[in-house]
Amino acid sequence: MAENATETRAGVIPTLRYRDGAAAVDWLCRAFGFERHRVVPDEAGGVVHAQRSFGNGMVMLGTARDDAFDALVKPPGDVGGVGTQSPYVVVEDADKHHARAVEAGAEIVMPLEDADYGGRGYSCRDPEGHVWNFGSYDPWVDR
């Protein structure tokens, strides 16, 4: 184990900023199957901090605001629609997950296909432009 790492469910947790954090919280659950873990609302109806779990993984998100962290991290729409990271989420059935995401309105940017290195997956954008990758390839399993 890496020096100073802790044994927990997921030691690396992506964090994302959304213009409408409350809408993102609901959409991620509906489209991708994330489960509600925690939501801390702000006074204006936004989300200061939210946690969404998926299996043993998690993402954290919040509504973009004018603070020190948001000077460093922006929603894609605030920087020309391009992201600088994209979470990869391991799913059991990529075809089933793809159908769910399409039904919820995800924009497919890389089609569902078999990967040369194993597994099957696709990439999509959420309503605010974050790129997400889903696939059955599990990098923890030797192939």
The pLDDT assigned to 129 comes to 96
pLDDT-derived band at 140, boundaries 50, 70, 90: confident
Structural domains of the chain in order of their starting residue, each with its CATH number? 15-70+85-135 (3.10.180.10)
Contacts of 57 (CB under 8 A, 6+ apart): 9, 10, 13, 89, 90
The pLDDT assigned to 50 comes to 96
Segment 20-27 mean pLDDT: 95
Q: Which of 97, 85, 90, 87 is nearest to 118 (CA)?
A: 90
Segment 77-82 mean pLDDT: 92
Q: Please report, rounded to a whole number, the percentage of residues in the chain having pLDDT higher than 70.
A: 92
Segment 64-85 mean pLDDT: 92
User: In the predicted model, what is the mean pLDDT of the chain?
Assistant: 92
Q: Two tokens at 27?
A: 């959409």
Per residue in 34-52, pLDDT (tens digit) is 999 999 998 888 899 999 9
The DSSP-derived string for 124-140 is EE-TT--EEEEES--TT
The pLDDT assigned to 44 comes to 84
pLDDT-derived band at 5, boundaries 50, 70, 90: low
Please determine, for residue 15, whether its predicted confidence score (pLDDT) is greater than 90: yes
Contacts of 58 (CB under 8 A, 6+ apart): 9, 10, 13, 37, 51, 52
Exposed/middle/buried for residue 134 (C-beta within 10 Å: 0-12, 13-18, 19+): buried
Q: Please report, rounded to a whole number, the percentage of residues in the chain having pLDDT higher than 90.
A: 80
Cα 102-105-108 angle, rounded to 5 deg: 55
